[in-house]
Amino acid sequence: MFRRIRIAGFAAALVAAAACGAPSASAHPRPGCTTRTSLGLVAGTARAGICAFRGIPYAAPPVGDRRFRPPQPVRPWHGTLTADDDTRVCPQERDEMSEDYPDRRQIYADEDCLYLNVWTPRPDRAKRPVIVFIHGGAARFGTANEPRYDGTRLATSGDAVVVSLNYRLGVFGWTELGGVDPSYRGSGNNGLRDQIAALTWVRQHVADFGGDPSQVTAVGESEGAFSLSAMLATDHPERLFRRVILESGNGSLVHSAAMERKLAASFPVRSIARLKAMSTTELIDLGNKAAASLPGSAGGALYFGPYVDGTLVRGSVTRRVAAGNARGVDLLIGTNKDEMNFFGQYDPRGLDRLAAEYDGFFPPELAARRPRMTAVYRKRRTARDAALAMFTDQGLRVPATRLAEAQSRWRPTYAYEFDWRPPKGVGAVHTIELPFVFGTLRFTGIEGGAEALKTDRARLTRLSDQMVDAWTSFARTGDPNGRRTVARPSWPAYQVPRRTTMMWNLRPGTAKDPRGAERALWDGYPFDAFDL
């Protein structure tokens, strides 16, 4: 389905190859957007002045005996792979509110999903900067094939090669089964290994699409950013990328080893044979039920994800970064002002419910401090909004500043906050920066976003132009100021004690240590890893 197959005389050979895990391919290259890789010829589609290659396999299908195993290499193909199908989605139940799916299916049940997409001005040898995007979705939802993640604008505006990738979700990629069968030890990080396999594929093959494998910038949002944070705690992360952009994600939400042990011990199926015998939809349902065991709206978003296993992810992300583990990696990191409000959208009482749930997430180690902290947050807010601001700061904003501070000791580091909010929405919520970063201006999952675009398109387009320019400049030079092609403010590096932060809004500008008194309330709390 993901690769349209044109069989010309050697159908039996192609069927046999597919059965062995090798991708099938068409007999004839598509003119104009065709390139030769060491795996075989790949034909894309010319669109909007670029070549788009949709649906290139980067690993063998993780099916059969490969279910719950690390990703395996993809086999070369004969003929030409026609990369023009953008409908592959890793197994999940449709999340209508949050994701921008490529079709109307309610259940996605094809485990053969380890594919990536490439957008390039030309598949030549121009050595353009490379931007690799890893999507979010609580490690349960989402796909590289969402229209809001279309890489056309980034590729054209930045003269860059843009890559997006799928990775296994839910039970399939993030369940630790080593306690059930020692030969499956590490399976709880297989989704992370999928992403690493895709980044390795990029290093090996992106030159065939006009990219420079030494100039790879990995961009992750939400779960994608948690995953990239975890990679910063692996051995020699510079082997995977030269630069990283973390949008609404950081190492504090990488699971601790203790939490992963708790989740693994409570997992309801204790037989590998039974798990391998279950249907895809049964495993999706099993994952949904497992995620529902964590408390609150946000709890279900944190059940699956990378964890500190001591082997791949060596330890606390921020501690390892502070010690210089990622000294060869440039960092740009930021959050949105009202991240947690995302989980209270579309429900008249949603924000009230979310604020009430915060008690279950507040660190017990800080219980004695809480009255004083709450009093500071309450100075300009209602009790509900103070709780939501603390929730956002604890989960995302303050840990991001810690990671920025840690990496700024070794490399130029840049921090941002996205502040624009739709007039009829509930704030600058989680994911709201994505329509601007990609230039698609698709506001899936953002209450009031589409309505705001209708009434204020010119100003929102200008903000998107500025962010696309900053992101692609960083990918090219390691400095978001390095290649300004549109008017926008200068963005100084993040350094203590000034902590200069770019504040993205209709009139962007910088601020020194925004809401620093609230940030400082969390001093001394380690934010090492997520445990509940």
What per-residue confidence (pLDDT) applies to 146? 98
Q: Is 124 helix (H, G, I), strand (E, B) or coil?
A: coil
Which residue, chain included where needed, has tokens 């306690």?
A: 179
Q: Give CA–CA dist 39/76, Å, rounded.
A: 4
Among candidate residues 224, 240, 255, 407, the one with its CA nearest the CA of residue 326: 407
Delineate the domains of the chain, giving CATH numbers in brackets.
11-520 (3.40.50.1820)
Q: Give CA–CA dist 480/79, Å, rounded.
A: 42
Q: How many beta carbons lie within 10 A of that of residue 96, not counting itself?
A: 10
Q: Which two tokens stand for residue 364?
A: 């017990």
What per-residue confidence (pLDDT) applies to 8? 31
Q: Give CA–CA dist 369/371, Å, rounded.
A: 6
State the alpha helices, DSSP H only, in 267-396: 272-277, 280-291, 296-299, 317-322, 350-357, 370-377, 383-392
What per-residue confidence (pLDDT) applies to 376? 98
Read off the pTM: 0.95
Q: How many beta carbons lie within 10 A of that of residue 375, not counting itself?
A: 11
Number of H helices, E strands in the chain: 18, 16
Task: List residues bridging with 503 in a β-sheet.
Answer: 417, 509
Q: Which two tokens stand for residue 276?
A: 């391998």
Q: How many beta carbons lie within 10 A of that of residue 30, not counting itself?
A: 18
93's enclosing H/E stretch is: strand 92-93
Q: What is the DSSP string of 162-219?
A: EEEE----HHHHH---TTT-GGGTTGGGHHHHHHHHHHHHHHHHGGGGTEEEEEEEEE
Q: Which two tokens stand for residue 111?
A: 């485990």
Q: Are 509 and 416 spatial neighbours (Cβ–Cβ below 8 Å)?
A: no
pLDDT, mean of each 10-residue run, the chain (532 residues): 30 35 53 92 96 98 98 97 96 95 97 98 97 98 98 98 99 98 98 98 98 98 98 98 98 97 95 97 97 87 97 98 98 98 95 96 97 97 98 98 98 98 98 98 97 98 98 98 92 98 98 98 97 86
Beta pairing class for 107-108 and 50-57: unpaired
Radius of gyration (Cα) for the chain, nearest Å? 22
Q: Which two tokens stand for residue 505?
A: 């809004």
The residues carrying an active-site annotation are: 222, 339, 430
What per-residue confidence (pLDDT) applies to 1? 31
